[in-house]
Structures are given as structure tokens and as C-alpha cells.
Amino acid sequence: MSQFWSQLVHTLTPYVPGEQPKGDKLIKLNTNESPYPPSPSVQAAISAQLAADKLRLYPDPNADLLKSALAKTHQLSEQQVFVGNGSDEVLAHTFLALLKQDQAILFPDITYSFYPVYCGLYEIDYETVPLDNDFSINPDDYQQPNGGIIFPNPNAPTGRLLTLEAIETILKYNPNSVVIVDEAYIDFGGVSASGLINQYPNLLVVQTFSKSRALAGLRVGYALGHTDLIEALERVKNSFNSYPLDQLAIVGAVAALEDNDYFESCCQKIIKTRQTLTEFLQQQGFEVLPSAANFVFVRHPDYDAARLAKQLREQAIIVRHFNKPPIDQFLRITIGTDAQNTRLCDVIASLTVCRT
């Protein structure tokens, strides 16, 4: 604390990201990274850009190459695409550009824990909407006055998916509010709402290269929506930082996007491993929420979640535990490779044996 801080700084409760351990020995199932490397074409593209020896020059402030590739992938125009330094930066700009309104915005009470942090940063009023008892989002709960709505689909950290029909219901309830669908995990079993963009001028879809594209280390996220919504984001971005994406991130992301076969194959592998893990955990007596993401959210009637996380850690496996009711008895476990999954299952089986 200091006399030199702005008033705002005193009020902030910053986000705490999952641990990034410095070492290679751990099975890292705590921050929902892909267990598979990015497409080999990413390395090739970045190496080519390095060889062109242009790092002394600023990147294209508009990242046209990437916007063009994203527009093509999602069958939209480039003016319907916004890019940023990871979807966290895209979301931050979204809160200031579109969700800072007179009325309180709405998001689920169990959801991505960065949302209330953004509200703190930009002094945005919000109300949380309880999930149903089965931890699903109920579209009917979003038929109430609001300054905007945001939720992940699939939701985090539950992994539960809303159908496109349910999302359309929310959009139809709220023609005068922006509805932000945060699709960080959509490629692991859902259908993107991006296909609805040309019908709903109030819909913004946010996606990331950090999960299904296996590029968390490169920091690239994006938003898709009506040109008016994108223009708002551009105005904020260009009042904050002209060049959020470096040269290597731009070409790397484009290469990842263009290797669709590799992308599909990784997603399918992860979905299959998720199924194997789910069945195993259920056999072990865990409750496993239905997941359409690259993680499962699980609890065990007899097992304290914090203790289980600690025991896994002792066996060199890191998972995520949110020490906050009502989810403090859950663990969020990222889907790893089959080998990592086998090790995880073996360790859990041995712990369960110890318990009895």
C-alpha cells in the first residue's frame, strides 16, 4: 500500500492463475493446457519469421494476416474479428467496451473467476446468477433486466455445455443487451455460437488459441461479432496498446489455424481420453459432471478435495482445487495424454485403496 497508488488500486482483488511450476517432472493437469504440442507447422512458421530477421520492426498493429485467417475459418468478414494478447486481454477490453453499463451485468455464480476481477478493475456492477442444482446454466434465469451477460460455454470450471438452442433463448430474451459467449473450451464437444453472429447483433463470441490449438505459450485470443461490437473493442484496444500481438504470435497462430486435420485429431484424442477418465472415476465412486471441455470437474463423497489434491501432488500430479464454497469439494482435472491418464488413474486407485 502506498500514498502514490490510485484509489482504484487499493480496491483490487487480482486474479490468481494456476501454478506454472518451473520444472518438467510433474504431470501438469491444473491449467487446461493441451497435452499435445501445437501443429508442427507452427514451429515452421515461427522459424521462417525469425529467419526473415524482421524483429527490429513493429508488427502489423492490426494483425491482418491473422484476422483474415480467422474470418475465413469462421466464415465471417475481417471486420467481424478482433484479436488480442490471449482471450484474457480480449475479455478485459470487452468488459470496458461493452459491459460497463448503467445496469448490473449478469454471469453465473460458479464461473470463470476472472469475471468479477474485471468488474473490479473497471468498476462495473454485476449480479451473479445461481446455477441449477446439477451445476448447469438455466437460460430462463437470464430473462431479467441487465446491462449485459457473459458466460463460458462450456462453463468453467464445471465443463457443462449449453446447447445452441439454449444460447438462442438467452439472446432472444435480451435483444437490448450484449451477450458474450466465452468459448475457450468449445472445441472439445460443443458447437460454437459463431454461426449465430449474422442473426444476432448483440452476440459476441470469444475464443482462444491456448486450449484446443495448444498455444497457451504464445498468447493469442480473439472475438467474433457484429462489426459494431468489434469496432468498440478496436477503439479500446487502440487507446491501450497499438501492437498487442507480436510478429511470432501472429504467424504461429495462423499456422495453427490452417492445420485443421491436426487440430481435429488432437480434439478427438482428448475427448476419447476424457471418456476413459470419466468412466474410471465413476467406477471409483466420484461424481463427474458431464464435461464438454478438456477437463473434468469431480468430487468424491468420502474424499476431501484439498487433501486429494495434496496427495496427487505428492505423486507429482498437479490438479486445480478452488478453495471456495460451494465448489471447495471439487477438483478440476485437465485431460492429459493417455499415458498421463493411466498414471493418474493408477495413483487415484492406490489412494482409494489406502482410504479404506
What residues from 37 to 56 belong to the interface with a second copy (CB under 8 A)? 37-38, 42-43, 46-47, 50, 53-56
Q: Which of 217, 199, 191 is nearest to 207 (CA)?
A: 191
End-to-end CA distance of the chain: 49
Residues in 220-239 that interact with a second copy by CB under 8 A: 226, 228-229, 231-232, 234-239
Residue corresponding to grid cell 492463475: 17
36 belongs to the binding site for a second copy (CB under 8 A) = yes
**172 Cβ contact partners less than 8 Å away, ≥ 6 residues apart:** none
Check residue 27 for interaction with a second copy (CB under 8 A). Answer: no
Does position 105 interact with a second copy (CB under 8 A)? The reply is no
Q: Residue 93 or 321: which CB sits closer to a second copy?
A: 93
Q: Does 34 bind a second copy (CB under 8 A)?
A: yes
Report the residue number, 75 or 113, with the smaller CB distance to a second copy: 113
* Between 135 and 185, CB nearer to a second copy: 185
Q: How far apart are CA 262 and CA 172, in angstroms?
A: 36
Cα 32 from Cα 296, distance rounded (Å)? 10
Minimum distance between the CB of residue 128 and a second copy, rounded to whole angstroms? 18
Q: Does 97 bind a second copy (CB under 8 A)?
A: yes
Q: Does 259 bind a second copy (CB under 8 A)?
A: no
Q: Where are the alpha helices (DSSP H) in 143-201?
A: 164-173
Among 74, 88, 318, 341, the residue binding a second copy under the rule CB under 8 A is: 88
Q: Scanning residues 164 to 193, which ones bind a second copy (CB under 8 A)?
A: 176-178
Based on the shown chain and the rule CB under 8 A, indicate whether residue 98 belongs to the binding site for a second copy.
yes
- Kindly report each contact of residues 259-264 with a partner whose C-beta sits within 8 Å and lies 24 or more positions away, as own/partner: 259/39, 259/40, 259/41, 259/42, 262/39, 262/40, 262/41, 263/39, 263/187, 263/212, 263/213
Give CA–CA dist 80/229, Å, rounded.
8
CB of 247 to a second copy, least distance (A): 4
